[in-house]
């Protein structure tokens, strides 16, 4: 019955989307974690914890549009939130499950704040399903070049289970 409750709860209390111009993965992590902190989703130590975890357990994935999924222990999280960085230029992130020094050049970064460790698997699975959908990911990048708010709308639709429209606010 608890699983049914999880399915009816919103995936995220809020979603932040921002364009980032940098060549440093640390700077990407800093910007996204600061956004989460300023919006009350995480505690101040979240930034250092997410950087440490990313150094020890990299989250870069060699999907069609290379993406990273940094997150850390629920102890540092207050609200269920997602901060998405759309990188103007690809930024190196360590390859998930790779050897030291293996990197991908991420174009998208999805930083998670998940205060309930029981919901992590379900939420991460939903995000990974989206990463595997090349059409959805390409649409996200296309929308980001026009209007960042359309990316936020698309993500909110995806996580609410609503069919993603082909054209958003054209």
pLDDT(167) > 70:
no
What's the half-sphere exposure (Cβ side, CA atoms, 13 Å) at 84?
24
All structural domains of the chain, each given as residue ranges with its CATH number in brackets, are 2-160 (3.40.930.10)
pLDDT classification of 3: cutoffs 50, 70, 90: very low
d(CA 17, CA 143): 12
Report which secondary-structure segment, H or E, holds 17: strand 14-20
Question: Which has more confidence, 9 or 57?
Answer: 57
Q: Cβ(140)–Cβ(148) under 8 Å?
A: no
Query: By mean pLDDT, which of 30-39, 45-54, 136-145 is the weakest?
Result: 136-145
CB of 26 within 8 A of CB of 51?
yes
3-state secondary structure of 75: helix
Give CA 34 to chain center in angstroms.
14
Span 145-161, mean pLDDT?
Answer: 83
- Of all residues in the chain, the percent with pLDDT exceeding 90 is 54
* DSSP assignment string, 85-150: EEEEEEEEEEBTT--TT-EEEEEEEEEEE-S-GGGHHHHHHHHHHHHH-HHHHHHHHHHHHH-HHH
86: β partners:
19, 108
Kindly report the backbone phi and psi dihedral angles of residue 95, in degrees, each rounded to the nearest multiple of 5, phi listed first: -80, 125
Can you tell me the distance from the alpha carbon of 4 to that of 114, in angstroms, rounded to the nearest whole number?
A: 18
Predicted TM-score (pTM) of this structure: 0.86
């Amino acid at each position: 019955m608890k699983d049914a409750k999880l399915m009816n709860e919103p995936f995220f209390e809020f979603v932040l989307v921002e364009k980032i111009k940098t060549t440093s993965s640390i700077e990407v992590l800093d910007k996204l974690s600061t956004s989460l902190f300023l919006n009350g989703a995480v505690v101040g130590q979240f930034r250092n914890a997410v950087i440490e975890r990313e150094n020890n357990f990299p989250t870069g994935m060699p999907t069609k549009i290379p993406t990273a999924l940094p997150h850390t222990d629920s102890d540092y999280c207050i609200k269920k939130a997602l901060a998405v960085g759309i990188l103007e230029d690809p930024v190196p992130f360590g390859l998930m499950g790779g050897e030291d020094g293996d990197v991908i050049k991420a174009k998208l970064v999805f930083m998670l704040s998940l205060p309930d460790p029981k919901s992590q698997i379900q939420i991460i699975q939903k995000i990974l399903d989206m990463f595997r959908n090349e059409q959805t990911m390409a649409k996200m990048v296309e929308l980001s070049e026009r209007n960042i708010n359309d990316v936020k709308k698309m993500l909110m639709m995806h996580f609410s289970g609503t069919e993603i429209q082909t054209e958003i606010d054209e």
